[in-house]
Structures are given as structure tokens and as C-alpha cells.
């Protein structure tokens, strides 16, 4: 109560009459065939100039996609932007080709058609563009949407699940507008919070237990959510699914890209007006949004930083006909692999930054031609993430969900003991997680791991891994030894002849094949093996090539060996 009074005294404008816009609830698409069109648009946020936006099937954000576990999906993504993009299903366990990472480019005017089976548990995922160096731009302008996975196991539980009635998506995003009403794309000066693309939102909720699927879709800001009256609520799910049992709390910290499902009991609230707050004053030093954090890259520029900020209001109306009055106490089972089962361990360090330098992973910037890690299919691995910078970075990995083993040697809090695909690693902190790389192997298309602060990711704080079938140690080692020894010249090339220099260990009996792909991943030419000739030189004739960037994928004796980039002038 004191806190409410204090807020009233200090910020009267904030509390009265501010939440005047009804929260937009994104429409849903459900079934097995989906069509998404990403396009530029506008929305009238303020008087005067309309705000330029990007949306899926609409002017801002996109429909909520409802997938059922076990379904075979057929998705068409049309790109009507006048630039390339990609669309990534953040959190989903799909093949690298269907994952929508930076390599799976959708050129303007073209359609991408991923097809995959929904293998994940019931949970909340999201989708967003992932083109290298353009992710922040596309997402900040509005290109993102929620994915809800349903399953029979989840349907058997006592939980609210009627979309838009007692189960609501909350896509929470820090945003900033410039003087021309345009969304500002760079980093950390976001000075207002939107929910589902709505400014100053209110949501009418029934006086009963309500479920929220909360996504921090900000490009950088960490949210520390709670209610103005400090009420308790229950967290029931983390990134990859339901927790073992509900965790009662009054705060939910979510970093960029992270999700959680919570339930809030509004049943006694018909005479009060609950409001949601991000308690930034409680964020530790160096956490984006805490303000005053040390060093460059820390968001000290926004008036939201370090301030507790009320951004959404709930108007409680009468209960629905058959409300959920008690939620299940057992939600999901988690059989966490034992550390002794791990086949491999690896360490990723978060480093760089300072003096205007970009943040890096293992001291390296992203290089689309460098697959920094090779994982064997079906291996259980323990990854250690260290952070030697002075700000917190959310680590995200594609393909898998993981379990956090420990943070600085301590077991994670109860709400982080479920499946995760993003974990916030604070400055100086070391976290370890365990996971298993199942189902999908592809020696040519990598998966990503990266910091989910979008300016950091675009700036190169990203690496990639391939998952390969474990066809015996020797084959893999031979491929790895030969990797990166191929050279193509001249490069850039302006006529039809290129020469590929092969490693000198190759003998006349080795079979070398070349496949040339364009940037959209379409095969342009295939050169079957013939003996490479004297000087280990192979000459390729590239007829009728349009100017642009191509990739040459090289196979040695049928095994993936290397990928080269070729620029055609």
C-alpha cells in the first residue's frame, strides 16, 4: 500500500487515466497449413506522421500460431518486403533447414516453405526474422509473433487455456519513437513499453484464475515483472514447457527472447485495479535496464532504466461460466540427464566489449562460413557459458532445449529448473547446462547460438554449430582436418572461370564434388568429381551467373568437406 501511495504522490500522471488503449490480442491461426506474409506497413501511433512498421499478415507483430504436438506442418512464408529476411521458429526443435536461421534466406518476392513435425512439448515459443545484421531492424519495426504449442498432456491439466478469455499472450517490448513518430532501431534508449504492440494498454480480465504467456520481445531490456500491489502469482512454465509444479513468486525476470507462463488469481479483484510493473530498480548491476551499469553497451540512456515502471492495467470483470478455480499441482515430468551421461563438454565465453569494441563469443565475431562447433548426433553435452564482460547477456541456442545445471556452482532457482532455450548470464558469472542433440543432423546447414540482445547478435555475438552423424571418429577427423584448406580464386570473379585449389593431401583417387548455391540456398550448378589434375587445381566454368554471392559446397568422397563463398561481379 505504501508503494502505491508513493507512486501516486510522485507520478500522478502515470497512474490516472493513462491506460486508455484496449490491449490488442493477436488473431490466431491453427491447423496444419499456415500462410504468413511479412510486409512493410504503417500504423498510426501518434497524431501526425504514421509510424512505419513491419508485420506478418498485418501492420504490426503477427498472428499467434497454434501448433499441436505431433502434427505435420506445412508453412508458407511470403516475403513482400523489398529486402531479404528469414523467419526463425524460436525454441522449436526442427531441422537446420526448417529453423529459419541466417542461412535460410527468403529473397523479396519469394516464398519459403518449411515442413516439419511438431516435436516439442506444450509451451510458448515465438517467431521472428533472423537475417544477419538485420534482425534488430526487422524485429524492432514489428516483425515477431507468438507460437503456442498444445499437447494432450497439457490438455489433461487443470489450467486456463481459452485464448483471449482466460489465456492471454503478452508480448512485452521496450520501444522508442523519434520526433517523426518512427521506431528507433538502435540499442538501449527505449523509453516506453508496449504490450502486443499496444501503448498504455488495459486488458479486461474475468475475476478468476487467468493464464498469461509472457514473452520479452525487447531488443535488449531485461524485464522484472510484478504487480503494483506486489501480489503473488504462480509461474507454471519456462521457455520449453511446463515446470514440474507451479512456483509461487511476486517477480518474474525475463531477458530478451525469454518466455514464461504465469497464472494470476483475479477472483477477489472486482473492486481494485491491478497493474503490471517492471521493477527495474531491483535489477542487479550490469543487467540491461538496470541503468548506471558499467561500461559501454550498458543501457544507461533511457529514463526507464533503474526505474520501477507501471505499464499495463487490468480491469476485472465478472467471472466466466466455468472458470478454473484451482490449477494442477503436478504439471510435467522432467528427467534431467545425469552429468555422468555426458559424451562431451564445451565452453563458450562471452567476451569483447569495452572501448567501442563489439561483444564476441570465444573471442570471435560471427562468420557465416565458419562452423565453430561440431556436435555428434544423439550426444549429451554439457556447455559451460562464462561471461567475462561487465554486463549480462542472454545466451540462446537453437535446435535444443536445455536444463541449467548450475549458476556459479549453485543450483538454479525453481522457476529455472524446467526446459530453457535462453539463460541470462550475468557479468562475471558462469553457468552450465546439459542437453541432448537429437533427431536432426546436417553437415551443411548450421544452427546458431548467440546473445539474444539483438544489437549484440547483429554485431557478431553469434556462433554456429553443425550436428553430424557419428560415422566413426576417423571420418569426422579427416573431414575436420581438410576443412578450410580449399581456396577459390580469383574471388571476386568477373568472368566464367574459377579455380579451386584443393588440399595437397588429396590423391587422384579422391572424389571431389562441388555444388554451387545462390544466397537463397537454391542449387545453381553441380560439378561431379573428376580427378583434379596437376597442381591439385580444379577448374569450374560458371556460365550465365548473375552478379551476387554464391556458396560452393564441397564434398570429399561423399562427405561434406567445406563451404566457400564466391562473389560474382
Measured from the CB of residue 90, what is the shortest distance to Cu ion in angstroms? 4
Decide whether 236 or 397 has the Cβ nearer to ligand C2O. Answer: 397
CA proximity to 20, closest of 171, 273, 201: 201
Q: Is 138 in the site for Cu ion (CB under 5 A)?
A: no
Interatomic CA distance for residues 209 and 263, integer angstroms: 6
Residue 87 Cβ vs Cu ion, minimum distance, rounded to whole Å:
11
Q: Which does 568 bind (CB under 5 to 8 A by kind): ligand C2O, Cu ion, none?
A: none
Identify what 456 binds: Cu ion, ligand C2O, none; CB under 5 to 8 Å per kind. Answer: Cu ion
Partner whose footprint covers residue 130, from ligand C2O, Cu ion, none (CB < 5 to 8 Å by kind): ligand C2O
Q: Go through 417-450 and write b for each residue having 16 or more CB atoms within 10 A of its CB, e for each that does not.
A: bbbbbbbbbbbebbbbbbbbbeebbbbbbbbbbb
In the complex, least distance from residue 82 CB atom to ligand C2O, rounded to whole angstroms: 24
Q: Which is nearer to ligand C2O, 141 or 251 (CB)?
A: 141
Classify strands 72-79 and 33-43 as parallel, antiparallel or unpaired.
Answer: parallel
141 binds, among Cu ion, ligand C2O, none (CB under 5 to 8 A by kind): none
> Taking the complex as a whole, how short is the minimal distance between the CB of residue 204 and Cu ion, in angstroms?
33
Contact 445, 399 (CB under 8 A): no
Decide whether 309 or 456 has the Cβ nearer to ligand C2O.
456
393 binds Cu ion (CB under 5 A): yes
Residue 211 or residue 452: which is nearer to ligand C2O going by CB?
452
From CA 175, how far away is CA 101, in angstroms rounded? 24
Q: How far is the CB of 398 from ligand C2O (least distance, A)?
A: 6
By C-beta, is 92 or 277 nearer to ligand C2O?
A: 92
Q: Which three cell numbers stand for residue 381?
A: 553435452
Least distance from ligand C2O to the Cβ atom of residue 440, Å: 16
Q: Is 555 among the residues that bind Cu ion (CB under 5 A)?
A: no
Q: Choosing among Cu ion, ligand C2O, none, which partner's interface includes residue 432 (Cβ < 5 to 8 Å by kind)?
A: none
451 binds, among ligand C2O, Cu ion, none (CB under 5 to 8 A by kind): Cu ion
Pairing mode, strands 462-468 and 373-376 = parallel
Please say which residue, 88 or 483, places its beta carbon nearer to ligand C2O: 88
DSSP output for 384-425: EEEE-SSS-EEEEESS--BEEEEETTBPPPGGGSS-BSEEEE
> Residue 397 pairs with which residues in a beta bridge?
449
- Does residue 374 contact residue 465 with C-beta atoms inside 8 Å? yes
Q: Which stretch, 86-94, 301-309, 468-476, 484-492, contacts Cu ion (CB under 5 A)?
A: 86-94
Q: Which stretch binds Cu ion (CB under 5 A): 56-64, 333-341, 445-453, 467-475?
A: 445-453
CB 421 to ligand C2O: min, Å: 8
| Separation CA 347–CA 333 (nearest Å) | 28
R_g (Cα) of the chain, nearest Å: 25
Distance CA 499, CA 537 (A): 6
By CB under 5 A, the count of residues binding Cu ion is 7
Output 90 or 103, the one with its CB closest to Cu ion.
Answer: 90
- Residue 238 near residue 416 (C-beta atoms within 8 A): yes
Q: Can you tell me which of 195, 214, 453, 516 binds Cu ion, judged by CB under 5 A?
A: 453
Closest contact distance (angstroms) between CB of 308 and ligand C2O is 27
CB 449 within 8 Å of CB 398: yes
Helices (H), 219-340: none
Bridge partners of residue 382, in order along the sequence: 345, 434
Residue 451 lies near Cu ion (rule: CB under 5 A): yes
Backbone angles phi, psi at 534, to 5 degrees: -65, 155
Least separation in angstroms between CB 251 and Cu ion: 22
Exactly one of 456, 483, 551, 555 binds Cu ion (CB under 5 A); which one? 456
Nearer to ligand C2O, 461 or 493 (CB): 461
Per-residue cell: 97: 533447414
Burial readout 133-150 (b: 16 or more C-beta within 10 A, e: otherwise): ebbbbbbbbbbbbbbbbb
In the complex, which residue's CB is closest to ligand C2O?
90
Among 45-53, 207-215, 453-461, 463-471, the segment contacting Cu ion (CB under 5 A): 453-461
CB neighbours of residue 52 within 10 Å: 16
CB of 447 to ligand C2O, least distance (A): 9
Q: Which residues bind ligand C2O (CB under 6 A)?
A: 88, 90, 128, 130, 257, 396, 398, 448, 450, 452
Burial class of residue 177, CB neighbours in 10 A (0-12, 13-18, 19+): middle
Which listed option, Cu ion, ligand C2O, none, makes contact with residue 236 (CB within 5 to 8 Å by class)?
none
Q: Pattern 357-386, binding to Cu ion, x per CB under 5 A?
A: --x---------------------------
**Residues 557-562: contacts with CB under 8 Å, at least 24 apart:** 557/510, 557/511, 558/511, 558/513, 559/443, 559/475, 559/478, 559/479, 560/443, 560/444, 560/468, 560/479, 561/479, 561/482, 561/483, 561/486, 561/512, 562/482, 562/483, 562/484, 562/485, 562/486
CB of 130 to ligand C2O, least distance (A): 6
Comparison of 364 and 510: residue with beta carbon closer to ligand C2O: 364
Binding flags for Cu ion, 403-442, as an x/- string (CB under 5 A): ----------------------------------------
Q: Which residues bind Cu ion (CB under 5 A)?
A: 90, 359, 393, 398, 451, 453, 456
Amino acid at each position: 500500500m505504501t508503494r502505491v501511495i508513493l507512486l501516486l504522490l510522485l507520478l500522478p500522471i502515470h497512474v490516472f487515466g493513462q491506460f486508455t488503449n484496449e490491449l490488442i490480442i493477436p488473431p490466431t491461426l491453427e491447423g496444419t497449413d499456415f500462410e504468413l506474409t511479412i510486409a512493410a506497413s504503417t500504423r498510426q501511433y501518434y497524431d501526425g506522421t504514421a509510424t512505419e512498421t513491419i508485420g506478418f499478415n498485418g501492420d504490426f507483430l503477427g498472428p499467434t500460431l497454434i501448433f499441436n504436438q505431433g502434427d505435420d506442418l506445412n508453412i508458407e512464408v511470403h516475403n513482400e518486403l523489398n529486402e531479404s529476411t528469414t523467419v526463425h521458429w524460436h525454441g522449436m526443435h526442427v531441422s537446420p533447414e526448417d529453423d529459419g536461421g541466417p542461412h535460410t534466406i527468403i529473397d523479396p518476392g519469394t516464398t519459403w516453405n518449411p515442413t516439419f513435425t511438431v516435436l516439442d512439448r506444450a509451451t510458448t515459443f515465438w517467431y521472428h526474422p533472423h537475417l544477419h545484421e538485420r534482425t534488430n531492424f526487422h524485429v524492432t519495426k514489428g516483425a515477431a509473433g507468438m507460437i503456442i504449442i498444445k499437447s494432450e498432456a497439457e490438455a489433461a491439466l487443470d489450467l486456463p487455456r481459452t485464448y483471449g478469455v482466460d489465456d492471454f499472450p503478452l508480448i512485452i517490448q521496450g520501444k522508442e519513437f523519434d520526433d517523426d513518430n518512427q521506431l528507433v532501431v538502435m540499442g538501449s534508449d527505449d523509453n516506453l513499453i508496449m504490450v502486443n504492440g499496444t501503448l498504455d494498454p488495459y486488458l479486461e480480465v474475468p475475476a478468476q484464475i487467468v493464464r498469461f504467456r509472457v514473452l520479452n520481445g525487447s531488443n535488449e531490456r531485461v524485464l522484472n515483472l510484478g504487480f503494483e500491489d506486489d501480489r503473488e502469482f504462480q509461474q507454471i512454465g519456462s521457455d520449453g514447457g511446463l515446470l514440474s509444479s507451479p512456483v509461487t513468486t511476486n517477480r518474474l525476470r525475463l531477458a530478451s527472447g525469454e518466455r514464461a507462463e504465469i497464472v494470476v488469481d483475479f477472483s477477489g479483484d472486482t473492486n481494485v485495479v491491478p497493474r503490471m510493473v517492471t521493477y527495474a530498480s531491483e535489477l542487479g548491476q550490469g543487467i540491461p535496464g538496470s541503468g548506471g551499469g558499467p561500461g559501454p553497451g550498458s543501457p544507461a540512456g533511457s529514463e526507464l532504466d533503474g526505474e520501477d515502471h507501471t505499464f499495463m492495467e487490468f480491469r476485472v470483470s465478472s467471472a466466466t461460466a466455468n472458470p478454473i478455480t484451482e490449477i494442477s499441482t503436478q504439471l510435467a515430468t522432467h528427467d534431467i540427464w545425469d552429468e555422468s551421461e555426458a559424451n562431451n563438454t564445451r565452453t563458450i565465453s562471452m567476451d569483447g566489449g569495452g572501448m567501442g569494441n563489439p561483444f564476441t563469443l570465444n573471442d570471435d565475431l560471427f562468420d557465416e562460413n565458419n562452423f565453430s562447433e561440431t556436435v555428434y548426433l544423439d550426444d549429451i553435452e554439457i556447455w559451460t557459458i562464462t561471461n567475462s564482460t561487465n554486463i549480462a547477456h542472454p545466451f540462446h541456442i537453437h535446435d535444443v532445449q536445455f536444463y541449467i545445471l548450475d549458476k556459479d556452482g549453485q543450483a538454479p532457482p525453481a522457476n529455472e529448473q524446467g526446459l530453457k532455450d535462453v539463460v541470462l548470464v550475468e557479468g562475471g558469472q558462469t553457468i552450465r547446462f546439459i542437453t541432448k542433440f537429437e533427431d536432426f543432423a546436417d553437415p551443411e546447414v548450421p544452427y546458431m547460438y548467440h546473445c539474444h540482445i539483438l544489437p549484440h547478435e547483429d554485431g557478431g555475438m553469434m556462433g554456429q554449430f553443425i550436428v553430424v552423424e557419428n560415422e566413426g571418429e576417423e571420418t569426422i577427423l579427416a573431414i575436420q582436418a581438410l576443412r578450410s584448406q580449399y581456396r577459390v580464386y580469383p574471388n571476386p570473379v568477373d568472368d566464367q572461370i574459377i579455380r579451386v585449389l584443393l588440399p595437397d593431401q588429396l590423391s587422384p583417387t579422391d572424389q571431389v564434388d562441388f555444388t554451387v548455391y545462390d544466397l537463397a540456398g537454391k542449387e545453381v550448378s553441380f560439378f561431379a568429381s573428376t580427378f583434379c589434375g596437376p597442381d591439385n587445381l580444379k577448374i569450374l566454368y560458371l556460365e550465365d551467373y548473375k552478379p551476387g554471392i554464391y556458396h560452393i559446397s564441397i564434398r570429399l568422397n561423399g562427405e561434406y568437406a567445406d563451404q566457400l563463398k564466391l562473389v560474382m561481379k
